[in-house]
Amino acid sequence: MVRTARSLVHALQAAVALVFVVGVVTRNPSVAVNALLGLLVTLVPNVLERDYGVVLGPLPALWVTLAVLLHSLGMLGLYDTLVWWDHLTHTFSAGVAAGAAYAAVHAVDLHTDRLYLPPPFIGVLLIIVTLGFGVLWETAEFVARDLAILFGFRPVLVVYSLEDAIVDLAYDALGGLLVAWFGTTRLDSVSRELEARLQGR
């Protein structure tokens, strides 16, 4: 299972790298930059394991890499041709943000007796944190677009409208809700690894 998941991660990373090559060959900075930054993000779980001793296991890495690949493929035109692709990528990406938030918050909860966060509160907190990340992302998209236009560059991030941003936030909330509902037990081992790092300090 572990070897299969790691092989899938490498295959997905190769696919993201291929999207980057396509962006370079076609001289499309939006495709190339998003794929390159996404590829760097997929390396974060490996860096955490290698440099900080946080053993996440293959599933979080697979989750992150799949979210990055979906976004990279979207930049090739799927965002324009498939209306639901944007909803899919926002749900996946929000799930990654919610998963990371849960692992961190639950690790702190395990680490100290002075803090107790009941499951219902953590669920609500995940949705709020996920929406917060979503707002930051939507704001960054608008700012990046306006700065690119101001300096005469082609925008790297695609911005459609304020209404589209609100719909994106709704799917961000869905991603956070799915993690709060189904994913927390699967992330407990990650939280315990992070708590062990805190104990080590």
pLDDT tens-digit map of 114-144: 777 787 788 888 889 999 999 998 888 888 8
Same domain for 136 and 44:
no
Same domain for 201 and 136:
yes
Is residue 57 scored above 80 in pLDDT?
no
Same domain for 138 and 88:
yes
| Number of separate domains in the chain | 2
Q: How confident is the model at residue 147 (pLDDT cuts 50, 70, 90)?
A: confident
* Least confident interval from 38-42, 78-82, 139-143, 152-156: 152-156
In this structure, what token pair is assigned to residue 195?
């708590």
In whole angstroms, what is the distance from residue 64 CA to residue 44 CA?
9
pLDDT of residue 94: 94
In whole angstroms, what is the distance from residue 65 CA to residue 15 CA?
10
> What is the reported pTM?
0.85
Domain boundaries, position 153: 82-201
Same domain for 91 and 43:
no
Same domain for 99 and 5:
no
Is residue 63 scored above 80 in pLDDT?
yes
Same domain for 99 and 70:
no
